[in-house]
Amino acid sequence: MPHFQGLMADRGATTMLIIALILMILYTFAPCSGANVKIGVPENYDGIFPWYLAKLHSLPGNYSDLVVGGDDEGIFGVDAQFLYALKPLDREKRPSYSLQVSFRTSEHRQSFTVEVCVIDKNDNVPTFIEESMRGSVQLGLLKGIPFMQVEALDRDDRNTAHAELRFSLMEQTPRIPSSQMFFISSITGEVSLTEEGASTLDPEMCGRYKLSVMVKDMAGKANAFFTSGIVTVEVTGNTWASPDPVRLQENLPGPYPIPISQVKWSGSQAEYSLEGEFPEMLFTISREGVIYLNAPLDRETQDQFQISIVVERPDGREIAKPVELRVMVGDANDNRPTFPEAQYHTVVKELAARGTEILTVQAADNDDPKTDNVRIFYRLVGQIPESPRALFRVDRDSGVISVQADSMEGTAPQYTLTITAEDAKGLNSSCTVFVTVQDENNNPPLFSQHEYGPFHIPEDASVGTTVTAVLAGDADVRGGDSWKVDYRLESGNEEEVFTLVTDKQTNEVSLILSKVLDFERESEYILVLSAQNPVALVRGRYGPASTATVSIYVDDVNEGPILSQSHYEVTVREGEEPGRVIATIRGYDPDSHPIRYSLQGDTKKYFSIGKYSGELKTVQALDREENSTYTMEVIAVDGRNSSLSASTLVTVHILDVNDNSPVLVGDYSWKYLCTPRWEEQALVLASRDSDGPQHGGRLNFSLRSDATVRRNWKLTPINDTHTNLSLNTPYLAPEVYTVPFTISDSSSPPRSTFINLPVTVCPCNVRGNCKMAAKQLQGMPTIQSAVGILLGTFAVIGTILIVVFVRLSYQNPRQPSKTSQERVPLKISI
């Protein structure tokens, strides 16, 4: 203790100065409720006595006979309204004093309470509660699980940092197998294993450890008091281990629960629980670690259980790693063998040999496959139809169904078999097997006769006409692949004039005309027709009876002419000299009759055609600008039968020739340009060329090569046919100007037109309106002259009318009697 007392003496002067400042604050701000006063006073004051603690502000001005009561130790007194102490206070002996201060006034005696609270000072060193600290740690304990607790005490005020303790582990002896085997909680003092300690703890390597521990107050700060001690830790073994596997028979008769195993944690108090894949409450564990089975087991539902046994502290923290209990369920023969399907379907060929396997049925037994409980025997117990018997058999051990008869030919198309599966205990089940006897191709198709025909067909018969229909019969089962027949023309149809269409329902084949016939080219067809099945023959072969000959004669018919093309496209340059042959229409008559040609649709008679030559000629020169395309029809007529004819279309395209010059389009006499020049003001000039785009596609405007013209005017193209005419100088004198320019087409060589365009230039107001009348162009009529011409025209018409009426009056004199007057038709000779 001298070490700690010396430390206290060294810090005394500084500490008293701080306490005096705190005391002044407490005196100033000490709460006072009514007549009661509360004062905080630090302990262990070592200054001058009496020690004045506080002024009593609650005293009236006319008080007398001031007395302090409640002080059994004679520590406190009052002097001139000041409360004082005669010796130091010790909080650890007495933390507070309750004093009664009484005084007399002119009326009567009064009193109030003064509560003196002793303020704690860190003047006590923390100490361990036990001088000899011992603990034990068990093998298998997890890291962080406390196995003991180090406790210490500090007499200072628990509500201050003076008694706030912190623990630390200073050293471990011995330092094997690791120097960091243990850990101590700085707050609680609980000692536990580190991760290294939990994994490497071994009592054979080291059975006892000494730990040097320290406890500090002031929450472990640098100026804290501290005490050190030694903790002895014994390493002990543990019975916590996985129990032996347990084997239980399924469907045990009970009574339940049945104890099946037990575990125990040999260390501190522990609680147990079970985890694993099993129904709730099937297995439980008691507080003593006894494991119980609570209901019968079913091996077919689950044949074994892996149960994890968890050990925990009462607060729910896991102490050690769980151990495992394996429970195996023994089998009892309590399941009948069952087939995965109630019905099976299979096929056997009609030519199958004895012993041919057709199906394997397998039943399953849910009992233990390692026991004889799952051995299964198979039996054939039924066959429908029953006759003939002994067609099939089933192997007793394997379940293989096979053919037992020498042949399946002539049997029923389908059989229904009943198969039973039975185990050694006699538990059994059955399934149904449907066996279809599959027809095999052991019969070739045969024609009823060797030759068919001859058949007559006119040469003008339409495509799709049926010539005949024949049938090759097959003795195999109707509708199957062995019964179906594929027909083929082996010879005589090299040009594919005929095609075959088979009726899949009857096997009848129709011979169909697929191309136009020509008597003059081929008058007779001898076709060789064969019949085969789509699947291979398994017995026998195709003989002469599977082949037949079909004879067809083509009857001659007078045919019309045939033209070589259905449409002719002809090109002619415009303006070519008439009479030139522009196309020759070619045709022939299958019967070698002469052909006459004529035109239809040439309404303007621009063309002619040779009556027998078919030469098409122009009658007059053609103009593309008048019409660029002509379409007409050429009729070819049989020279001996005018009702037989053929026709073709002829389209004549006129090729363009550059025979038109471009022209200016539109009236520009009323338009004007402003001077001084207005920006973006221009006259839009339009032009046109009657030729096609090849010659008149883009039209070019160009000013005359004159310096004055090019200085005053400017042409700006807009598109292929329009251009802008504008002033090229800021100012021109107002008057009517003649602008000379040329319009040229895009042909080579080009055709051009020279234009002298009158353009009015005038001053304009702010709205762009011309402020002077345009001058009259030479050769253009004025308004006065136009009115004079109109009046003169009216005068001439009036004179003619007067003459006519005068002549009428002389030719028709009035008669004396109106009733007998004859009406003579008016006759006028001019």
User: What residue type is assigned to position 200 of the chain?
Assistant: T
The reported pLDDT for the residue numbered 772 is 72
Task: Tell me if residue 778 falls in helix, strand or coil.
Answer: coil
pTM to 2 decimal places: 0.40
Q: Greatest CA span in the chain, whole angstroms?
A: 187
| Among 465, 462, 525, 460, residue whose Cα is nearest residue 492 | 525
| Residue in 643, 634, 640 with CA at minimum distance from that of residue 587 | 634
How far, in Å, CA of 584 to CA of 595, rounded?
14
Specify which residues 227 forms β-bridges with.
Answer: 215
Q: Which residue has the tokens 């050190």?
A: 228
In the chain the domains, ranked by start, together with CATH numbers, are 37-119 (2.60.40.60), 127-236 (2.60.40.60), 246-330 (2.60.40.60), 343-430 (2.60.40.60), 446-555 (2.60.40.60), 562-655 (2.60.40.60), 663-763 (2.60.40.60)
Using DSSP's 3-state secondary structure scheme, residue 405 falls into coil
Closest CA to 317 of 560, 133, 142, 505: 142
pLDDT of residue 31: 36
Region 561-581: mean pLDDT is 85
**Do residues 434 and 530 lie in contact, with contact meaning Cβ atoms separated by under 8 Å?**
no
Specify whether the CB–CB gap between 335 and 365 falls below 8 A.
yes
pLDDT tens across 446-481, in order? 999 999 999 999 988 999 999 999 999 998 888 888
The whole-number pLDDT of residue 624 equals 75
Specify the pLDDT at position 32: 32
Looking at the chain, the whole-number percentage of residues with pLDDT higher than 70 is 90
* Integer Cα distance of 87 and 77 in angstroms: 11
Q: What distances in angstroms separate CA 529 from CA 467, 510, 533, 547, one per listed residue? A: 14, 11, 14, 6
651-665 per-position pLDDT tens digit: 998 877 777 788 888
Contact predicate 744/662, CB 8 Å = yes
Is 748 exposed, middle or buried, given 0-12, 13-18 or 19+ CB atoms closer than 10 A? exposed
Residue type present at position 522: E
- Cβ neighbours of 307 (radius 10 Å): 23
Can you tell me the distance from the alpha carbon of 25 to that of 36, in angstroms, rounded to the nearest whole number?
19
Q: What are the residues whose beta carbons fall under 8 Å from the beta carbon of 413, sequence distance 6 or more? A: 436, 437, 477
Query: What tens digit of pLDDT does each residue of 288-342 get?
Result: 999 999 999 988 889 899 999 999 988 888 989 999 999 999 888 888 899 999 9
Q: What is the model's pLDDT at position 694?
A: 66
Amino acid 442: pLDDT: 86
Summarised one tens digit per residue, pLDDT across range 522-569 is: 999 999 999 999 999 988 889 999 999 999 999 887 777 888 888 999
CA distances from 742 to 701, 704, 752, 808 (A): 6, 7, 7, 60
CA distance 143 to 182: 9
Q: What is the dihedral of CA 132, 138, 139, 143, to 10 degrees?
A: -80
Classify 351 as helix, strand or coil: coil
Contact 559, 549 (CB under 8 A): no
For 257-292, the pLDDT digits (tens) are 999 999 998 877 889 999 999 999 999 999 999 999
How do strand 343-349 and strand 428-438 relate by DSSP bridges?
Answer: parallel
Distance CA 736, CA 726 (A): 14
CA 727, chain centre distance (Å):
66
As a whole number of angstroms, the distance between CA 551 and CA 590 comes to: 24
The contacts of residue 573 (CB under 8 Å, 6+ apart) are: 654, 655, 657
Is the pLDDT assigned to residue 12 strictly greater than 80?
Answer: no
Q: How many CB atoms lie within 10 A of CB 10?
A: 10
Q: What share of the chain is helix, strand, coil (3-state, %, to 5)?
A: 10, 40, 50
Residue 721 above 90 pLDDT? Answer: no
Q: What percent of the chain has pLDDT over 90?
A: 51
Task: Give 134-186 pLDDT, tens digit per residue.
Answer: 999 988 899 999 999 999 999 999 999 999 999 999 999 999 999 999 999 99
What is the Cα–Cα distance from 131 to 133, expressed in whole angstroms? 6
Range in 2-11, 377-386, 819-828 the model is least confident about:
819-828
Give, as one character, the DSSP assignment of residue 577: P
Give the three-state DSSP class for 366: coil
Residue 765 vs residues 284, 664, 684, 727, 772: alpha-carbon distances, Å? 115, 30, 21, 18, 10
Average pLDDT value over all residues in the chain: 85
Residue 234: beta bridge partners?
A: 136, 208
